[in-house]
Structure 1
Amino acid sequence: MNVNVPDERLVFVDLETAGLKPWRPIIEIAAIAVDSNQRELERFEAKIQFERKFANAKSLRKASYSPQRWEKEAKPAGDVMKEFTDLLRRHATVDQLSAKGRVFRVAQLVAHNGVFDGAFLSAWYDRYDEFLPASPRVFCTLQRAIWLFHEDKSLTPPPDFSLRTLCHYFGVSLRACEAHEALNDVRATVDLYRAIAQHRQSMMRPPLHACG
């Protein structure tokens, strides 16, 4: 019997920004699209040109910003936005209803601290007067982890819910030297999501009883 499995894709995203407020520039973006079985379909990464006068120096240091690397590798923000938009449209599987009643599809984003990344992406697209083809509800692995520790009382919660702390807790590789680089962080976010999903599946399995 053939069973039609919904093509419910997820697009994991990570941003490195030049500050904590959404009006600050996004300086790096990375994304990994996965299918309904969490298999990777496509990945994307780009450094973005920005004006230093709008950046916070402390945030640049945390984001592992290097003037030499950005001079060599960064692309104009408009070009990066177009590439990212095309990726979202290729993996758009969420139905939305327009004001005129027309059904169209957008991508489902996932991020660690989705409120933060969602606000920056929305502000970025608004500045360019472009439509962000993604659901306004960004799934959040930070919130998913909080729920997991609420659901499974056998787990001792970690001291915090940062990406690096949770990756260490669930055995996901993310070394200190790799953190705060967008592609490393988004790869770790995908692996963290898989680890949480695997743990939940093990919670739902019935206990094995020995035969007498």
Structure 2
Amino acid sequence: MPGPGFAVIDLETTGLLPSAHERVVEIAIVHADQYGTVTGQWETLVNPQRHVGAEHIHGIRAADLIDAPAFTEIADDVMDLLSGRVIVAHNARFDRGFLTAEFGRISRALPDDAPTLCTMQLARELIPGAGRSLADCCAAFDIALEDAHRAAVDARATAELLGGYIASTGREFWFSHIDRALSVAWPSPASTATTALARWVARGSSAASVPFLQRIAERMPDFSGPAEHVEYVALLDRCLIDRHLSEHESRQLVALAKELGIGRDTAAGLHAQYFDQFAAVAWADGVLSSTEVADLAAVASLLQVPDARLTAALAPPAAPAAHAAATDAPFTPGAFTLAPGDAVVLTGEMSRPRADLEAELVAAGFRVASGISKKVALLVAADPDSLSGKARKAREYGIPVVGEEHLQRLL
């Protein structure tokens, strides 16, 4: 959408240095006219094809990015939205540096002569005495900044800050940059795809917010048989070894149910049978520990087992052996085990030093491997939905991926 005015950008990234292979995970571009009035806004999450980095800062989980486009898929959109405009950002060196790196990975480049303005640097002259953070600068103009570190929020606030700057100064400075921007030659789009200005993968609106059982299609009639049921429950058991269902695991279960011809009602029945057998295994020694109670509650929640069934499972069975025999699950829970000498791989930024975790694994009799092969038994990830190359390869090989917390069970 070339035209006179500004393209205000903000990025959320996996880290601080593009030279250290950090990537963009969210981008927002706000258009403003020559007077600083906002005329349009575009945003999207971006799949970085690696760890998401400081989730506690940007609030973006790996599960949020599974359906997000890779940067190469939105490169034409970004080029089109910047073309003919003055690029503006708060700490423009940071944002432009990341954009340059992202385009460089796909052998494209931002024009070196595309004019760029930094609202953080301009604050030194235009609002002397104020702080340099976006929040400080916005406060000087009474601009609201809520839900900071979301690209769309920060870009919009920066655009409003730009409008405040323009209104409080002579316009010749701004107009001269707009004239320069119009003279810059931008590269032609690499494809003929139509620019998707409304393209937006919203946080919290992904399939992850829908329980996976509801994503399994209703199938009438259901022709699946015992062999299909065993295969489905075997995957279910593998996914539940850490009492957590990542978004990747939920999708695997939904896809397998579709492939095997298992409908939602049949899946719900298999979940109930699995849960009953899970409870029978927990009661095998005649006692429920606090950990087993927590496990039963977690599995019941993940499988959408009715509360009444969970309550019944927590009550001591009249005859444990008979109770176990009465369940007709096609698979016994707990089939996955780790044996001494099994290889374990770690990936992501753990809450504890990687060296400490590796030392504990070795002390417990496991082998720590640096890369994924078919001989690896388990991948431990900082985020079970990790988008790292190790996690992608582990899923391809059918290797379970669990969170860091599950290490305590192993150790």
TM-score, normalisation: structure 1: 0.71
* 1:16–1:27 contact (8 Å) kept in structure 2: yes
Q: 1:32 aligned to 2:40?
A: no
* Alignment of 1:162 onto 2:133: yes
Give how far 1:67 is off: 2.7
1:12 has 2:4 as partner: no
Instruction: Report sequence identity in percent.
Output: 28
More moved, 135-144 vs 119-128: 135-144
The DSSP-based 3-state class of the residue aligned with 2:149 is coil
| Paired letter, 1:79 | E
Equivalent AA in structure 1 for residue 90 of structure 2: H
Post-superposition Cα deviations, 1:32-75, rounded to whole Å, max 9, x if no partner, equal 1122122333321010011234x5x3x33211212332235x11
CA contact (8 A) 2:35 2:163 kept: no
Distance 1:36 1:149 in 2: 21
Q: Does 1:113 align with 2:109?
A: no
Give runs of aligned pairs for residues 2-81 of structure 1, distance below 5 A: 8-22=4-18, 23-53=21-51, 55=52, 57=53, 59-72=54-67, 74-81=68-75
CA distance in structure 2 between the partners assigned to 1:87 and 1:129 by the alignment: 19
Looking at both structures, which has the greater relative contact order when contacts are Cα pairs under 8 Å and sequence separation is at least 6?
A: 1
Match of 2:154 among 182, 185, 191: 185
Q: Which residue of 1 aligns with 2:127?
A: 149
Per-residue Cα deviation, 1:144-185 (whole angstroms, up to 9, x for no partner):
1111135xxxxxx13x3110121122200102xx10000000
* Residue matched to 1:83: 77
CA distance in 1, matches of 2:36, 2:127: 22
The structure number with the bigger radius of gyration is 2
> For 1:115, what is the secondary structure of its paired residue?
helix
**SS of 1:28 mapped into structure 2:** strand
Number of corresponding residues: 166
In the alignment, structure 1 residue 125 sits paired with structure 2 residue 103:
yes
**SS, match of residue 200 in structure 1:** coil
Taking a change above 3 Å as real, the CA distance of residues 142 and 195 of structure 1, as seen in their structure-2 partners, is same
Q: CA RMSD in A?
A: 2.0
- Partner Cα separation in structure 2 for residue 134 and residue 15 of structure 1: 20
CA shift in 2, pair 1:14/1:35, >3 Å: same
Contact 2:88 2:119 in 1 (8 A): yes
Q: Distance in 2 between matches of 1:180 and 1:188?
A: 11
Secondary structure, aligned partner of 2:110: coil
| Superposition deviation, residue 141 in structure 1 | 0.3
- Decide whether aligned partners of structure 1 residues 15 and 126 sit closer, same or farther in structure 2, where only a CA change above 3 A counts: same
Distance 2:40 2:111 in 1: 17
Shift of 1:11: 0.6
Q: Secondary structure at the match of 2:127?
A: helix
3-state SS, counterpart of residue 13 of structure 1:
strand
Q: Give the number of the structure whose residues are more often helix, by fraction.
A: 2
Hey, what's the Cα distance between the residues in 2 that align with 1:42 and 1:196?
19
Matched, 1:174 2:145: yes
CA distance in 2, matches of 1:129, 1:172: 39
Paired with 1:70 and 1:113, the residues of 2 have a C-alpha distance of: 25
**Structure (1 or 2) with the greater strand fraction:** 1
Shift of 1:134: 7.1
**What letter corresponds to residue 195 of structure 1 in structure 2?**
G
| Counterpart residue number, 2:178 | none
* Structure 1, gaps ≥5 residues long: 1-6, 93-106, 151-156, 202-212
CA contact (8 A) 1:112 1:142 kept: yes
Mark the runs of 5 or more structure 2 residues left unpaired by the alignment.
171-411
Counterparts of 1:40 and 1:134, CA distance in 2: 26
- Measure how far apart 1:136 and its partner are: 4.5
Alignment check: 8 A CA contact 1:109 1:134 kept: no
Q: Distance in 2 between matches of 1:134 and 1:33?
A: 21
Contact 1:11 1:34 in 2 (8 A): yes
The change in CA–CA distance for 1:149 and 1:88 in structure 2 (over 3 A counts) is: closer
What do the CA deviations read for 1:68-94 (whole angstroms, capped 9, x no partner)? 32235x1122112121112223xx1xx
